[in-house]
Amino acid sequence: VIRGCVPKKLLVYASSFQADFRDSQGFGWGEAARPFDLKHLMDKKSAEVGRLNGIYGRLLKNSGCDYVEGRGRILDPHSVEVTAPDGTTRVLKTKNILVATGGRAFKPDIPGAELCDTSDEGLVYGEVPKTMVIVGGGYIAVEFAGIYAGFGSEVHIVCRKPLPLRGFDEECRQLVLKNLQSRGIHVHVNSNPAAIAKNEATGGLSVTVAGPDGAQQVIEADKCMFATGRKPNVHNLGLENTKVELGPNNAIKVNNILQTAEPSVWACGDVIDRIQLTPVALMEGMCLTDTIARGKPREPDYTYVASAVFCQPPLATVGITEDEAIETHVGEIDVYVEGFRPMRNTLSGREERALMKLVVDAASRKVLGAHMVGPDSPEIMQGIAVALKAGATKEVFDSTIGIHPSSAEEFVTMRTVARRVQCKGTAKM
C-alpha cells in the first residue's frame, strides 16, 4: 500500500487525463490549457495511503492482534527481538514465526548506479522531470514510463530485450511496444546502460547507453530510474539463527504449505519469490491461517492467477501464453486472435488498437489462457479468470451472450481459429 500497487495506480489515473483531454476534442470538447500540479497530486496520494494504513491498523487491533512497531530480528526459532524507533528493544517469545517482509528494488552493479532512483522514489517526486531515463523492460518500467510521459516528461526506456514485458504473450508485448512509441516514449531495445555520471554543468545526469551494435549514446536526463526487478528482503532478519534455507535470488525456501526448513518458521509473499502480486500474498496468508491457526493444512493454489500491467492502455492476462502452451502442453492448441480499434478511438482520432487472444486446447476445447491489451482490460480479465478457474471451454464462451457495444463482447464472439499449433510438451494442462 505504501510503495506499491495503490499509490502507483493513483498516479496512473492522474497521468491518463492528458490523453483523455486530447481525445475529448474528437467528441466536441474545446481545447483548453490545463496546468498540472504534481505536489497537489502527491499530497492527495499520501493522504489516501495514510487513510488506508489507518484502516489496516484498525483491522489488526479489532481482530485482537498485538501491534508492535519496530525492526524485527530472529534470535532463535521461537524468539524475535524488536528494536523500536526510539532504540529500545524487547524480545517476543512465540510458537511460530511468519516472515512476510516482501522485496526490495534491485539496482544492477554499474558505474553511477548510486545516482539513480527506483520506483520507491518515483512515487514521491516533488517535480516532474523534464527528461527521464527508465532502465528495465518489466511492468514497473512501462508503467512508470506511461505515468511520467502523461505528466509531460520526455521518457526513455532502456530495455535489454527486443520487446518489453518478458514472460507475457508475444503479440501483446509487440502491441505494448507500439503503444509506448505512439505516445512519444523512446524505447531503446536490445540496449543496456553502461554508466551514469553527474553532469556538473546542468545538475542532471548523463546516462550512457550501449545499443545492440555496441555503439554508445549519451542521454541527458533530470532523473534516471532503475526498474530492474525486486529481490526478497532477507537482509538482517536473523535467519542465520535458524535452519531457514535460501534459494535462487535469495528467496526463502518453503515447502508446499509455506513452511521453511525450520519447523516453527513460515514465509509468504514476495520474500519467497513465487508470484510477486499482492493478491497472491493475501491468498498465501489465508492458507497459513488455515494451516497454523485452524490446524487444517492448506496448500496455495497458483493456477489461473490473473494479472495486469497498468501501461496505457493496459495489458491483462490469465492462464498460459501461446509460447508456454507450445513448450509445455501435449497435443495441439487453437489460437484465436482479434484486433480492432476501440469505439472510443474512432471519434477521438487515436490510432491505438486493442488485442484479444484465447489459447484453447484443440482436443478438449478447454480455454488455457486469455490475453488482452486495451482499455479496461484488467476489469474484463478479472471476470474471464473466474471462467478459466471453473474450467470453461471455448463452447462456454461461444454460448455466452455478449454485452453490446463493448470491447468485452469480443471474447465471446471469436469464432475463427487464427492458427492451430502442434505443441512439444508431455503434460496435459
Residues forming the active site: 404
CB 176 within 8 A of CB 45: no
CB 385 within 8 A of CB 320: no
Q: CA 17 → CA 20, 36, 71, 426, distances in Å?
A: 5, 10, 40, 48
ω into 279 cis (within 30 of 0): no
Largest pairwise CA distance in the chain = 68
CB 389 within 8 A of CB 332: no
CB 388 within 8 A of CB 399: no
Hunting for cell 512509441 — which residue is that? 181
Residue 76's DSSP bridge partners are 79
Q: Where are the alpha helices (DSSP H) in 183-308?
A: 278-288
- 412's grid cell: 465471446
Measured between alpha carbons, how far is 103 from 118 in angstroms, rounded to an integer? Answer: 13
Hunting for cell 484486433 — which residue is that? 339
Residue 217 backbone phi and psi in degrees, to 5: -135, 155
* DSSP H or E stretch at residue 91: strand 89-93
Q: Give the end-to-end CA distance of the chain in Å, rounded to a whole number.
A: 35
The set of residues, in sequence order, having a beta carbon less than 8 Å from that of 279 and lying 6+ positions away, is 305
Q: CA 343 → CA 20, 127, 301, distances in Å?
A: 14, 35, 37
CA 220, 224, 228 angle in degrees (round to 5)? 135
Measured between alpha carbons, how far is 267 from 270 in angstroms, rounded to an integer? Answer: 9
CB 75 within 8 A of CB 81: yes
- 180's grid cell: 509506448
